[in-house]
Amino acid sequence: MSELDAKLQEIRSDFPLLNRLVYGKPLVYLDNAATTQKPKCVISAISDYYLNYNSNIHRGVHRLSQEATDEYEKSRKIIKEFINARKSEEIIFTRGTTEAINLVARSFVRPRLKEGDEIVISHMEHHSNIVPWQIICEETGARLRIIPINDSGELQFDELEKLLTEKVKFLSIVHVSNSLGTINPIDEIIKKAHSIGIPVLIDAAQSIQHFKIDVQKLDCDFLAFSGHKIYGPTGIGVLYGKESHLEAMPPYQGGGDMIKSVSFERTIYNDLPYKFEAGTPNIEGAIGLGKAIEYVKQIGFHFINTHEQNLLEYAHKVLSQIDGLKIIGMAKRKASVVSFVLDGVHPHDVGTMLDVEGVAVRTGHHCTEPIMKRYGLPATTRASFAFYNTIDEINVLTESVKKVIKMFS
């Protein structure tokens, strides 16, 4: 057994679900861009919380509450270090990327937006980085401007430069496209936007699990990601924001934990980060996410990057050799996501037929309808790889795709 095979076998044994059968066949899980599987350590951390110290945080004087608070805050610190934020106060727990973007739209951008202003996003955004901006544009009479993409699925940089004028009050952009896999040059984009004073949010939902992100080096104003795409639980996510921005922003939601004192005449809001965490939060989610990030750090981005890029290259090679298969999204820099279409076979039929072979892929518009329209497609089939996937699994995918084509020919 090669060193890589041994390492993969060890990694895969950390993910109990990967051992299951689907329709009597070994599961080949290639839907990691939708959600990742969870390692045992994450599952144990969550069950440990409920078995041993379940209680509310920041409230009780009793021992359990202190333990829960400590673990919850420990996760915040793990995340702070993971993305290299200056302070733990800059890490806000949210329900996910979507809520983090909505929080920024509502509390940071909306108050400073007026008729005639502009917000810039790109053509490859997920619906969650389109609709929150549309809502506040509609409320204020501001305009949403779109950076176009070329046929390979890359941003048209010259068009971006034209769009960045003094009318623009905010730029929100995806780091890695969930349906095309394109990696956007966010460092250059942030520099360009900052040169004329435009704050930037990075949607890192599809990049946080693949690449080392350093928010100080990037100098982004905000960054959003979801726990469940980085091997953590669902229902928990993170908004990073520069402290000065977060301090200046009004609260997003009102309630318990986000206040210092309440009277009917006047309420004093709590300090960061609690000002943005109203109500009892997703405590087990935060604890699970902290554990997931420790696990990813232990695997290491060196292995993750190398192995996932190998998988991507191999998948590109073998899939593009299939007659009648077309890969959608051929950017020069891509994360391990392959979207494709087959001549004469609808992606939904592909998805069902791969399913009975044990292969889990995503089919549909991937919450990126504008991209589908851009390519004139109703949907694509998408295979997305994690560091626990193998070359053998890509071979199963390829053979299954060939079976689909044979059945429909």
Catalytic residues: 367
* Residue 264 contacts other proteins per CB under 8 A: no
* Residue 347 contacts other proteins per CB under 8 A: yes
Which ranges in 60-185 belong to alpha helices (H)? 63-82, 97-104, 131-140, 157-163
Count of residues near other proteins by CB under 8 A: 18
Closest to other proteins by CB, 259 vs 367, is 367
In this chain, which of 106, 362, 365, 366 binds other proteins, going by CB under 8 A?
365
Give strand pairing partners of 237: 94, 226
Q: Which stretch binds other proteins (CB under 8 A): 3-11, 120-128, 259-267, 353-361?
A: 353-361
DSSP 19-78: G-EETTEE-EE-BTTT-----HHHHHHHHHIIIII---TTT--SHHHHHHHHHHHHHHHH
Task: Find the shortest distance in angstroms from Cβ 353 to other proteins.
Answer: 7
* Residue 196 contacts other proteins per CB under 8 A: no
Across 362-383, b (16+ Cβ under 10 Å) vs e yields bbbbbbbebbbebbeeebbbbb
- Window 2 to 31, contacts with other proteins (CB under 8 A): 23
Q: Spell out, one character per residue from 290 to 329, where the chain touches other proteins: x when CB under 8 A holds, - when not.
A: ----------------------------------------
Closest to other proteins by CB, 245 vs 346, is 346
- Window 230 to 249, contacts with other proteins (CB under 8 A): none
* Residue 343 contacts other proteins per CB under 8 A: no
Cα angle: 51, vertex 53, 56; to 5 degrees: 125
Q: Which stretch binds other proteins (CB under 8 A): 91-99, 157-165, 233-241, 344-352?
A: 344-352
Residue 264: CB atoms within 10 Å: 5
The rounded distance, in Å, linking the Cα atoms of 95 and 349 is 33
Torsion of CA 39, 42, 47, 53, to 10 degrees: 160
Pairing of strands 359-360, 337-342: unpaired
Closest among 334, 308, 339, 310 to 154, alpha carbons compared: 334
In this chain, which of 77, 260, 317, 348 binds other proteins, going by CB under 8 A?
348
Task: Find the shortest distance in angstroms from Cβ 181 to other proteins.
Answer: 20
Closest to other proteins by CB, 143 vs 346, is 346
* Residue 366 contacts other proteins per CB under 8 A: no
Task: Find the shortest distance in angstroms from Cβ 348 to other proteins.
Answer: 4
Task: Find the shortest distance in angstroms from Cβ 326 to other proteins.
Answer: 17
Q: Please give the C-alpha separations between residue 345 and each of 21, 217, 370, 396, 402, in angstroms, as whole numbers.
A: 26, 45, 22, 19, 12
Return the structure tokens found at 277: 């965490």
In this chain, which of 356, 392, 399, 402 binds other proteins, going by CB under 8 A?
356
Q: Look-up: residue for tokens 């995503």?
A: 362
Give strand pairing partners of 382: 339, 362
In this chain, which of 5, 378, 399, 402 binds other proteins, going by CB under 8 A?
378
Return the structure tokens found at 63: 């021992």
Task: Find the shortest distance in angstroms from Cβ 144 to other proteins.
Answer: 21
Q: Which residues bind other proteins (CB under 8 A)?
A: 23, 345-349, 352-353, 356-357, 363-365, 372, 378-379, 407-408
